[in-house]
Structure 1
């Protein structure tokens, strides 16, 4: 089912939760609503579900305005962070619940219900737990049962609100992979809310980045990571180093270094900030006359395939974080306290003048 929202506005008192939000959620795809706490992502999900009313705007389900449709008529399946399973019912009964409470005319027979629940338990790989009660299950198992229960009523759209938020890191990672595989089998149009960028980048077909009630950027995981359209998106999707300086006729001057930024050839002495990911920095020992930013190695953390380096600049600006391969780190034989030079291999510059396009520099 295709879902779209047009010009959705929502206020809670003086607080603007959603500011004229319009979005398309592609049929059969998994879309992540990503952003910090309070950015409006859960409010938007609840409005699509019909659990919350918008002040203005439309929710379209398959092109039809569903704004006045009751939750039950929207054919939506939900999974929340706190799996609200019925503790006094077995896993089997929990999954069957949605089917058993259907109006008599559309309620399946007991044998069909049994068949369907068994099929769903196999789908979520927990058929061996059918007779257990929720308190006897682990958090990850409970969340998979909550998903099976949501799927039992054959929803046309599946909404997940921080579905793995209450679980520990290892279980979250397992469930993320499992959710992606499950989605590839079922192709039910799904929207999930998360504040975890790694989760969104790993699982989603499309990412909608939200900030303060507005949509900052929409695109595939690769698009939003590699071509962020605003400083907020750049900073939210992973660690980043900031190099403040002035941009003049295609050059960013940071005081310690001049960098070509061809996308800003027209800029005339304006403030600009270069954004550089830790793995896009080249590092070498300091030699007189070397080009780049002179830094001191404060701390090195080299466990596993990568070495993370904390570097202090001479001008007391904020610390720079660099990531190099453990192999390269060994090769350089770096010691804490040594003087090094860093140079960005790839940076993305945003200038203070909105009329100029913000572009990558290589």
Structure 2
């Protein structure tokens, strides 16, 4: 089922959660709503589900206006961050709950419910836990049961609000892969909310970057990461070193240093971004590059992360560089050592603050 939201506006008092938002979610896609806390992504999910009423605008499900349709009639499956399982019910009864609550005329028989629940538990690979209670399950198991319960009513749309946010990193990674495989098997139109960039890029067909109730960029994971449309998108998607400077035909002036960039605004105040793995460290106190001083050297498996502080006219700024653990500098840099930073790739945007002032 396709979903469209048209000119959705939602405010809570003076706080604008959704600012005249328009989006299309094609049928069968798995879409991530990604952004910082308070950007409006959960509010948008709740408006689509019918759990929240927009102040203005429309929600279309397969082209039909569902704005005033009750949540029960939207055929939406909703999975919350904290599972929302009934603690007094077994796993089997939790999954069967939605089926047993259907109106008598369309309610399946108990034998049909039993068949369907076991089928769903097999789908989420937890049929062997049917007689357990939620308190006897791990967090990852509880979340998979919550998903099975949402699927039991055969939703046309699956909405997931930070589904793995309460889990530890290892379990989150396992469930991300599992959710992607499950979606490829079921092809239900799915929207999930996350503030985890890696999660969105790894799982989704498309990513919607949100900020302050507005959409910053929409695209495939590769598009939003490799071709960020705004400084916010670049800075939010992965680690980034940020430099403020002035652009001219000769390059980007950061203090007394000049960076070269393949593409940049010819004149004016700019923000330049460099990923940590695209920044080289040169062992020299003077010369070409951004002046910095080594603060800490951390070995993280196959990577070495070097934390640095700016010197001279970039004093007070902090930078990160990632080197392979096998790099000659990885084991020889020492705290306090003066160095220069030379970027191999620079992404430049007009500074929105100074542009607005102009």
**TM-score bin (small chain):** over 0.9
Say whether residues 1:309 and 2:289 are aligned partners.
no
Deviations 1:328-359 (A, max 9, x none): 14577323332322111111111237999xxx
For 2:175, what is the secondary structure of its paired residue? Answer: helix
**In the alignment, which residue of structure 2 is the partner of 1:283?**
281
Contact 1:43 1:52 in 2 (8 A): yes
Q: CA deviation at 1:150?
A: 0.3
Q: Which moved more, 1:91-100 or 1:256-265?
A: 256-265
TM superposition score normalised by structure 1: 0.93
Say whether residues 1:7 and 2:4 are aligned partners.
no
**In the alignment, which residue of structure 2 is the partner of 1:350?**
349
Q: Which moved more, 1:31-40 or 1:337-346?
A: 337-346
For 2:263, what is the secondary structure of its paired residue? Answer: helix
Q: Which moved more, 1:71-80 or 1:333-342?
A: 333-342
Say whether residues 1:41 and 2:41 are aligned partners.
yes
Say whether residues 1:339 and 2:349 are aligned partners.
no
Q: Which moved more, 1:106-115 or 1:327-336?
A: 327-336
**In the alignment, which residue of structure 1 is the partner of 2:293?**
296
Contact 2:265 2:349 in 1 (8 A): no
2: distance between equivalents of 1:45 and 1:222? 24
4+ residue segments displaced more than 3 Å: 261-266, 329-332, 352-356
Deviations 1:247-277 (A, max 9, x none): 112521112421233533642xx22121111
**In the alignment, which residue of structure 1 is the partner of 2:241?**
241
Contact 1:209 1:217 in 2 (8 A): yes
For 1:199, what is the secondary structure of its paired residue? Answer: helix
2: distance between equivalents of 1:355 and 1:168? 41
**In the alignment, which residue of structure 1 is the partner of 2:51?**
51
Q: CA deviation at 1:195?
A: 1.2
Which runs of 5 or more structure 2 residues have no equivalent in the other structure? none
2: distance between equivalents of 1:304 and 1:264? 35
**In the alignment, which residue of structure 2 is the partner of 1:360?**
none
Q: Which moved more, 1:45-54 or 1:164-173?
A: 164-173
Which runs of 5 or more structure 1 residues have no equivalent in the other structure? 357-362
**In the alignment, which residue of structure 2 is the partner of 1:200?**
200
1: distance between equivalents of 2:341 and 2:293? 10
Contact 2:247 2:266 in 1 (8 A): no
Q: CA deviation at 1:81?
A: 1.0
Contact 1:90 1:131 in 2 (8 A): yes
Contact 1:250 1:261 in 2 (8 A): no
**In the alignment, which residue of structure 1 is the partner of 2:254?**
254
Relative to structure 1, the CA distance from residue 39 to residue 354 in structure 2 (aligned partners, 3 Å threshold; closer, same or farther) is closer
Q: Which moved more, 1:103-112 or 1:342-351?
A: 103-112
1: distance between equivalents of 2:145 and 2:348? 46
For 2:225, what is the secondary structure of its paired residue? Answer: helix
Deviations 1:278-317 (A, max 9, x none): 111122221764x212322221001310000011222214
**In the alignment, which residue of structure 1 is the partner of 2:272?**
274
For 1:327, what is the secondary structure of its paired residue? Answer: coil
Within-5 A mapping of 1:1-362: 1-249=1-249, 251-264=251-264, 266-267=266-267, 270-286=268-284, 289=287, 291-315=288-312, 316-329=315-328, 333-352=332-351
Aligned length: 353
Contact 2:281 2:340 in 1 (8 A): yes
TM-align CA RMSD: 1.8
Deviations 1:115-158 (A, max 9, x none): 11111111111111011111111111111100000000110000
